[in-house]
Amino acid sequence: MSDTILKVRDLYRTYDIKGGLFKKPGKFTAVKGVSFDVERGSTLAIVGESGCGKSTLARMLTMIDAQTSGSIEIDGLPIDIAKTGISKDMRQKVQIVFQNPYGSLNPRQKIGHVLEEPLLLNTSMPAAERRDLALEMLTKVGLQPEHYGRYPHMFSGGQRQRIAIARAIMMKPKLLVLDEPVSALDLSVQAQILNLLKDLQDEMGLTYIFISHDLSVVRYLADKVMVMYFGEVVEYGTRDEVFGDPKHEYTRTLFAATPNADVDSIKARLAKKVA
Amino acid sequence: MTKSTSTELATETVLERESRNATKAMLTEFWYYFSQNKGAVIGLVVFAVLVAVALLAPLVAPHDPDVQYRDALLQPPFWQDGGSFAFPLGTDAVGRDILSRLIFGSRFSLFIGVVVVTIALVGGIVIGLVAGYARGWVDTLIMRVMDIILAFPSLLLALVLVAILGPGLVNAMIAIAIVLQPHFVRLTRAAVLAEVNRDYVVAARVAGAGHLRLMFKTILPNCLAPLIVQATLSFSNAILDAAALGFLGMGAQPPTPEWGTMLAEAREFILRAWWVVTFPGLAILITVLAINLVGDGLRDALDPKLKRS
């Protein structure tokens, strides 16, 4: 009974590199033949070092950039914006939350308008109804209704990320792409945001594509894990499979590189240093 | 039922108050940084007085600016021998009261500033937004044209344009606006380039905003700070250029009491009657200085890099 919401087949993304005076023009392939499925209501974590194509993949899934070749299918709807453009239907399927909460909110736009913008652009809802929905969403993500009329600079990083999440789920998307949503926040706030994301997933039946390089976060949230290395998928399986028995060389290196934060290992490190 | 509507009303007023408070907080912060700069506050006061004088010119001026008092030609200001309080700043070669002419002249100067800056700003913003947003050959074409305009000395280009359009205040204003425009275009384009790849713009695009909405509602409000500063400084520039064109006989034509034109008319009496050239010159100087000071204050208040917080 696998209910697949996202189907990606053989996805490529190539960038043209302009030639300079002493340089021939070339091509750079950021994503090389990626295929995966995501089931409705589950979380797929995409892990990898910077520059491995994670964010490029996210931009293609959220229709910011077009793919060079390959197919994306979200909830039965084929996505190929280079050929067909973007319809309102497609927009309502997928939304994105960015890494940097300080850059992702328009500094001259009040929070209420930030939240209402997707509704204003994609639906013909009357203003009063939009406002009620925005207020409801504010309380849902753990903010107060009073925050409706304030500007983004009046909020902390964690609060801003809550606003960004609220904006992303205003349209009730099926799929939410989270591009390192907690890596710019400190640890206690990270935990709050992750809990919020989990609650929202249970409540709204959201499907998450969670992009991260923080393995502890991935272990907490993911159902399935995909490891990318230079644009290719080198490991793809359930969380327990990948964490328990990493197959690929790079995955093992990645796990080994994660600093161990328990007391014993820190003591051992210190002892090593002294010796 | 009534209870729920009353609580709804209560939340509504709370919301509105919060929204107003947020707007007020922005303004308070702006005023705080602006008022740190004492020169800017003085400039603002001088400018406000000037605007008031210009608006109330018929009430404030002691005489009609065009009436010639044949019995009081080249009368000196009141504190000199032969001066009188009837003509506080003296009269010019045909017996017109200089103070009244200066007061009416402020109307022209402010009018020139407002019109020129409006034309240059609106044109510059639209062209700059298109260039910065569209990129590619559109950008290249626009910027090369702007570079060509910038390559001319500004007053010379204005002179050429006025020579083509014909002398007169309106044509002079159009010419000055065209000369000032490239500055706005470049500034807008640079600001747009910095903003266009920020996450909030991408987020608005993902939310479904079209090109026009992205350009004017999402990006433009975040580019306004440098433009406001440049607009203020251009305001004084426009007044100066208009005075220069007037002085060269290409701007406002006599007997219009425009400050530059007044200077030109008084040229032959520089040695005999210092007041006919000094007062229009001072008027230009003080106005331009005041506006430039305000511009500096605005830069302090609006440029986030200069904020000390």
Considering CB atoms only, which of A64, A146, A151 is closest to B202? Answer: A64
| pLDDT at residue B16, as a whole number | 81
| pLDDT at residue B129, as a whole number | 94
CA distance A119 to chain B (A): 9
**Does A4 fall in a domain?**
yes
**Closest by Cα among A117, A89, A119, A122 to A104:** A117
| pLDDT at residue B4, as a whole number | 55
| pLDDT at residue B305, as a whole number | 61
**Does A241 fall in a domain?**
yes
CA B135 – CA A59 distance, rounded (Å): 21
Sorting pLDDT into bands at 50, 70 and 90, what band is B7? Answer: low
CA distance B29 to chain A (A): 12
Sorting pLDDT into bands at 50, 70 and 90, what band is B145? Answer: very high
CA distance B28 to chain A (A): 14
Q: Do B208 and A121 touch (CB under 8 A)?
A: yes
Q: What is the ipTM of this complex?
A: 0.84
**Does A214 fall in a domain?**
yes
| CATH number of A257's domain | 3.40.50.300
Considering CB atoms only, which of B19, B203, B206 is closest to A149? Answer: B19
Considering CB atoms only, which of B15, B202, B209 is closest to A121? Answer: B209
Q: Do B14 and A62 touch (CB under 8 A)?
A: no
Which of the residues B199, B211, B214, B307 would you substitute to probe the A interface, choosing the one with the greatest number of A C-beta atoms within 10 Å?
A: B199
A31: β partners: A13
CA A88 – CA A75 distance, rounded (Å): 14
**Does A228 fall in a domain?**
yes
What is the average pLDDT across B48-56? 93
User: Which domains does chain B show, CATH number per domain?
Assistant: 37-306 (1.10.3720.10)
Sorting pLDDT into bands at 50, 70 and 90, what band is B49? Answer: very high
| Dihedral Cα B41, B44, B46, B48, nearest 10 deg | -140
**Does A198 fall in a domain?**
no
DSSP A250-272: HHHHHHHHSPP-SHHHHHHHHHH
Contact B227, B169 (CB under 8 A): no
Sorting pLDDT into bands at 50, 70 and 90, what band is B309? Answer: very low
What is the average pLDDT across B182-192? 94
Q: Is B16 on the interface with A (CB under 8 A)?
A: yes
CA B54 – CA A211 distance, rounded (Å): 62
**Does A246 fall in a domain?**
yes
Q: Say if residue A152 is preceded by a cis peptide, omega within 30 of 0.
A: no
Considering CB atoms only, which of A98, A135, A151 is closest to B199? Answer: A98
pLDDT tens-place string over residues B148-158: 999 988 888 88
pLDDT in tens, chain A (275 residues): 468 888 888 888 888 887 777 777 788 888 888 888 888 889 999 988 888 888 888 888 888 888 888 888 888 888 887 777 777 778 888 889 998 888 888 888 888 888 999 888 888 888 888 988 899 899 989 898 888 888 888 888 889 999 999 999 888 888 899 988 888 888 888 888 999 999 999 988 889 999 988 888 888 888 999 988 888 888 888 888 888 888 888 888 888 877 666 777 778 878 888 87
Contact A100, A178 (CB under 8 A): no
Q: Is the dihedral of CA A79, A84, A87, A91 positive or negative?
A: positive
Q: Do B209 and A112 touch (CB under 8 A)?
A: no
Q: Give the global pTM.
A: 0.83
CA B118 – CA A35 distance, rounded (Å): 55
How many domains is chain A built from? Answer: 1
pLDDT tens-place string over residues B77-101: 888 888 788 888 888 888 888 899 9
CA B128 – CA A96 distance, rounded (Å): 30
**DSSP 3-state percent helix, strand, coil across chain A (nearest 5):** 40, 25, 35
More confident residue, B55 or A92: B55
**Does A45 fall in a domain?**
yes
Measured between CA atoms, the residue of chain B closest to residue A62 is B206
A29: β partners: A14
| pLDDT at residue B1, as a whole number | 46
Residue A76's domain comprises 1-80+209-275
| pLDDT at residue A65, as a whole number | 85
**Does A23 fall in a domain?**
yes
